[in-house]
Amino acid sequence: MKATLPQRRRGPRLVLLALVLCSLLVPLAFIFDRAPTGYVTTDERRRQEVVFHSFDPVEPIGGGGGGGAVDPVPVKVAVQDPPRKISNGSSGVPPPQHMQIDRPPLAVSVKPKVLPVPRTEPPKAVKGSTERTIEVSKDIKRQKKDLKPDEVENLKACQLEFGSYCLWSTEHKVIMKDSVVKRLKDQLFVARSYYPSIAKLQGQEALTQEMKQNIQDHERVLSASAVDADLPSFINKKIEQMEHTIAKAKSCTVECHNVVRKLRQILDMTDDEAHFHMKQSAFLYNLGSQTLPKTHHCFSMRLTLEYFKSPSLDSDVYPARKFNTPNHRHYVILSKNVLAASVVINSTVINSKEPANNVFHILTDAQNFYGMKYWFARNSYKKAPIHVVNYEEMILEKLPKFSTRELYLSEEFRVLIRSTERPTEQTRIEYLSLFSHSHFFIPEIFKDLKKVVVLDDDVVVQRDLSFLWKLDMGDKVNGAVEFCGVRLGQVRNLLGKTKYDPKSCAWMSGVNVINLDKWRKHKITENYLLLLKQVKKKDEVSLREAAFSLSLLSFQNLIYPLPLDGRSTLSGLGYDYGIDPEVAQSSAALHYNGNMKPWLELGILDYKKYWRRFLTREDRFMDECNVNP
C-alpha cells in the first residue's frame, strides 16, 4: 500500500500540468489561426460596396429624357463586413459578405442648422461643362465581349449581390474537360427522381435494389472526380449499367407528378448548392481584396524595426518651412501602404518637369508612421521633399474637438441604378470613389497652405501635373472628374432634407485639386461637421457609409470639372477589364479604384504593368520579405 501512494499523488500532478500547458497553448493557437495562410488581416484598406437601388428612371447624360419622378422609397444598403476566417473543418455557409439594412431616408433634425449651400458661377472657360462631362472610363472604346441579353442580366444580378467578384470570376473562368462527369451527373439526377416512385411499386424490388446500387456507385465516383481525367477506367461500364436501369424505370407505370416533384426538389437543391459555392467564392475573393499579403506586412514591420535602430533618421532632412511654403506645389496622399505611396510619389516626380518644386505630404496612421518615415528617408525622389504625418496623433493633439480620429482612406461604393418603370431594361451598376471623413480635416492640418492636389494611393501618374496648378477654378473648391452616370436626384433617398440640385453630377476622388482658401471661405469642414451630427452613427460601418452623402452634399455647386482630354484621370482599373490600352497609355493618371488593387494577386494582370514600372525594387527588405507584386 505504501508503494502505491506516490503513484496516486502523481496522477493529479499530471492533470494539473496538462491544464497549465493547455492554458498556454490554446490562446497561441487561436492567435496564429486567425489569418489564412499567406495573408495578414489588417486595416490597410477595408472597403465597402454600398448598393443604392429603387431609384428614379435613369436620365440620359445629355440632359433630356427620363420618366417622371416617383416618391422616395426605403433604400437597401449592402455593406461589406470586415474579413472573417472560415475554419477548415466548417461545412456551413461562410459569414455573409453583405448585411441588408432597410431604412427610410436619413432624418434631419432642426438642430443644428446646416450652412446654406453656396451658389457660384463657374468661369466662362468651363461654364456648361457640367452637362457634358461624364466619367472618363465610360467615354472610351471598351473591348466588348459578345454576351447574350440574358447573360448580361445575369451578370448584373450577380454584381448586385456579390459585387466585382462576378467580373473577376468571369475573366478567370476555367474551362474544364468534364463532359463525361456532366453525363454522370445527369444520369444521377434522373435516377434520383425516379427512385422514390419505383421503390413504392409492388414486384419491383429487384429494380429498386439495382437502381439504389447504381446511384451509390455514381455518387462514390463523383465524390472523387471533378474532371474526366479523374474518372476510373471502368466508368463506361457504369454508364451503360445506369442507362439500362433508367430505361427499365421509364418503362414502369409511375405517377408523373411524383417524378416532377422530385425533379423540382433536386433542381432546388442544386441551385442552393451552386449559390452556396458562389457565396463561398465571393467571400474568399473579398477576403483576398481586404487583407494585406504577409510579404507586405513583413516589409512594413521590418521598416518600423529599422527606424528605431537608426536614431539619426529621427530628425527631418528638410526644414519645416519647406513644408509650409505656399509657393511650392503641395501634394497630399492618404495611405497606409508604403509601396503604394511610393509608387504615387515616384510616378509624379518622374513625369514632372520641376520635381524639386513638388512637396509631398503623406497622412498615415500610427501603425505605419515609423515605417513610412524610414522608407522615405532612405529613398530619394529627385530631391522632392516628403513630409510623413501621423494623422491620428495630429488630430488628437492639435484638433481634439474632432471625434473622428481614425484615418480613413477614400471610400469606394457600388451603386445600382434601376428604373422604376422598366427595371429589367434600364439597370446599371456604377462604381464610385469619394472622399472619406479624414479628407475634411486637410485644411485644418495644413493651415499655411492655399492650394493642394490630393492623390489617392491607388493612383499612377503618367503625365506632368503642373497644369493643375494653372487652372482658374473661380470660386470652386474641388477640381475633380465628374461622374454624370449618377446624379443627386437619383440618390435623394440618402440625402435627407438638405437642399440640393437633383441634376448635379456625382464626382470621383483619385486626383483632386483643392483650393484651401475657398474651402475655408465656404466653411466646408464646418458644414460637414453639422451634416455629420444628423447621421445616425450606430457603428463604424454606418459611419463610413455616411461618407457617400456627406461628400456629395458638402461640395455641391463647388465642383470644378477637370478636362476630359489627354490630361484627364482614367478610373476603373481596379474592376473594369474592358479598358482600351491606348486610352490607358495616353491618360495623365490611372486610378485603380475597385477591389482589384495592383499590389494584390487579384489585381488585373494587364493593368499591373503601369503600376510596376514605378515601383522601387532594389531594396534588401523587399528581398528578405519576398515582396514581388
- pLDDT value, residue 425: 57
Cell numbers 455557409: residue: 93
Helices (H), 200-234: 205-223
Q: Which helix (H) or strand (E) holds 527?
A: helix 524-533
Q: What are the backbone dihedrals phi and psi of residue 419, each rounded to the nearest 5 degrees, phi first?
A: -70, 135
- pLDDT value, residue 150: 66
Render pLDDT for 278-295 as a digit per residue (tens, 0 to 9).
888 888 888 877 777 888
Render pLDDT for 436-480 as a digit per residue (tens, 0 to 9).
999 999 999 999 999 999 999 999 999 999 999 989 999 999 999
In this structure, the number of other CB atoms found within 10 A of the CB of residue 24 comes to 9
Measured CA to CA, the distance from residue 107 to residue 227 in angstroms comes to 56
Q: What are the backbone dihedrals phi and psi of residue 150, each rounded to the nearest 5 degrees, phi first?
A: -70, -30
Measured CA to CA, the distance from residue 528 to residue 112 in angstroms comes to 12
Predicted TM-score (pTM) of this structure: 0.71
- pLDDT value, residue 551: 92
User: Mean pLDDT across the chain, nearest whole number?
Assistant: 75
Ramachandran region, residue 15 (left: φ > 0; alpha: ψ -120 to 50; beta: rest)? alpha
- pLDDT value, residue 50: 47
- pLDDT value, residue 477: 95
- pLDDT value, residue 422: 61
- pLDDT value, residue 14: 64
Q: Which helix (H) or strand (E) holds 444?
A: helix 442-445
- pLDDT value, residue 34: 40
Asked whether the beta carbons of 67 and 417 are under 8 A apart, the reply is no
Which portions of the chain are predicted below pLDDT 70?
1-151, 312-322, 403, 419-426, 564-567, 617-620, 629
Q: Which helix (H) or strand (E) holds 237?
A: helix 235-251
- pLDDT value, residue 455: 96
